[in-house]
A = this chain, B = another copy of it.
Amino acid sequence: MSRRGRVASGQPTIADVARHAGVAVSTVSYVLSGKRAISELTRNRVLASIRVLGYHPNAGARALASRRSNVIALVLPLRSGIQVPVVMQFATAVVTSARRHDHDVLLVTSDEGPEGLRRVAAGALVDGVLVMDVELHDVRVPLLRGLGRPSVLIGVPADTAGLSCVDLDFHRAGQVCVEHLAGLGHRRVALLGAPAAVYDRGTGFAHRTRAGVAEAAARHGVEAVTMPCEENATDVRRRVVELFARYPDLSGLVVQNEAAVGAVQAALAGLGRRVPHDVSMVAVCPDQFAEHAGPRLTSVPVPAEEIGRQAVALLMRKLAEEPVPETTLLEPRLTVRDSTAPPVVDTASYGGPASVR
C-alpha cells in the first residue's frame, strides 16, 4: 500500500505521481528518462503532477534499478607539496562539468588509500572514477585497471596502456619556457621546480617539465640547471642565493611552483637583481596570479578548468562505452608579459647586483 511511502519518508514517490497524473508508473519513468516516445499531452500532465507534488526521484532506488548511480568519484591528493589553488580549480571544474552531464561528485581522499577507491567502486556507489595527482609508478594504476569501472587520470603515469589520461603537456611546457628565454638570447637558465618530495614520489608533471627544459636547452645551446624548491620563503631564498653563487651568469629563471613565485621575487630583490632587467623569469602559474604580480609575469598557465572539463567529458564517453584515446595532452600556451627581456650584454651599462646593497 503506497500510503506507506508518504508516511515513512515524507517524499512523494513515482507511484504518487502516476496516480496524480492518472497514468502508469512506467509512463512517468519514461517521461523522466526520455527513453520512449510519450505524447505531448501525457508528458505535460506528468510534468505538472511532478511539479505539484514536488517529486524528486529517489537516488538509491534509481541506482538499484538502473545500475547507475550517476555519481563519479574524484580522488584528490591531500598531501604535501600540492598546489592547493590549482587542485581546487580542478575540483570545481570537475564538479561543474559533472553536473552538466547530470552527475554528482563524491570526494575521495588519497589518504584512505587505494581501499577507498575499491570500496566506492565495488559497492556501486560511483559509476566511474577520476584520479588526480598521478605518479609515474602509481600504486593505484594496477587497481584502476582491475576495477571494473571506467576511470580517467588527471596526470600521466609511465605506462598508460589501457587507461585514459588527460594533462597539460608539461614536457612541451618546459620546452616552451626555455625556447622563449633562448629566443631572447639567454644562455644559462635554471628551473626552480616543485618541492623535492614531489620529484621523489615520481610525480609526472614535475619530471616531464624537467625533461622538456633539458631537451629544449640542449637543442638551443642553452645551459640549464634544475633545482627542486620548497614553498617557504626561507628555503626559496637559500635556493636562489645558491643558484646565483654557483652560476653568476644565470639570466633566466623558470619557476614551476606558484606558491614560491612571490618568495622568488623577494629573494631576487634581496640580491638586488631586477626583473626583467637583470634576470628574466617565466612562471608556470595561473594567469590571474601572473597578472597581479609586480612586474606582471610571463607565464604558462596550467589550464585546470579545461583539463577538468576534458577529464569529465572523457569519463562520460567511457560510461557510454564509446572509445576514447589513451592520452590527451593539452598544448601549453605561453603569454609574454613584463618579466622577461633580452639579457644585458653591455657590461658598461650594467646596473646590476653589485651596485645595490
Look across to chain B and name the residue whose beta carbon is closest to the beta carbon of A233.
Answer: B294
* Pair A123/B56 contact, Cβ less than 8 Å: yes
* Pair A59/B124 contact, Cβ less than 8 Å: yes
Partner of A11, one of B120, B122, B262, B266: B122
Q: Which residues of B contact A95 (CB under 8 A)?
A: 107-109
Q: Which residues of B contact A124 (CB under 8 A)?
A: 9, 11, 58-60
Partner of A71, one of B57, B84, B106, B112: B106
Give per-residue flags for A226-238: 1 if the beta carbon is below 8 A from chain B beta carbons, else 0: 0000001110000
A292 at the interface (CB under 8 A from B): yes
* Pair A61/B59 contact, Cβ less than 8 Å: no
A353 at the interface (CB under 8 A from B): no
**Given pairs A11-B148, A60-B62, 18 additional interface contacts (CB within 8 A):** A11-B122, A11-B124, A58-B123, A59-B60, A59-B120, A59-B123, A60-B63, A60-B64, A61-B64, A84-B85, A91-B107, A92-B109, A104-B106, A104-B120, A104-B125, A106-B106, A234-B292, A234-B294
> Can you list 22 pairs linking A and B with CB atoms under 8 Å apart?
A10-B148, A11-B124, A56-B118, A56-B123, A57-B123, A58-B123, A59-B63, A59-B69, A59-B124, A60-B61, A60-B69, A64-B64, A78-B88, A78-B92, A91-B107, A92-B109, A96-B111, A233-B292, A233-B293, A233-B294, A234-B294, A266-B266
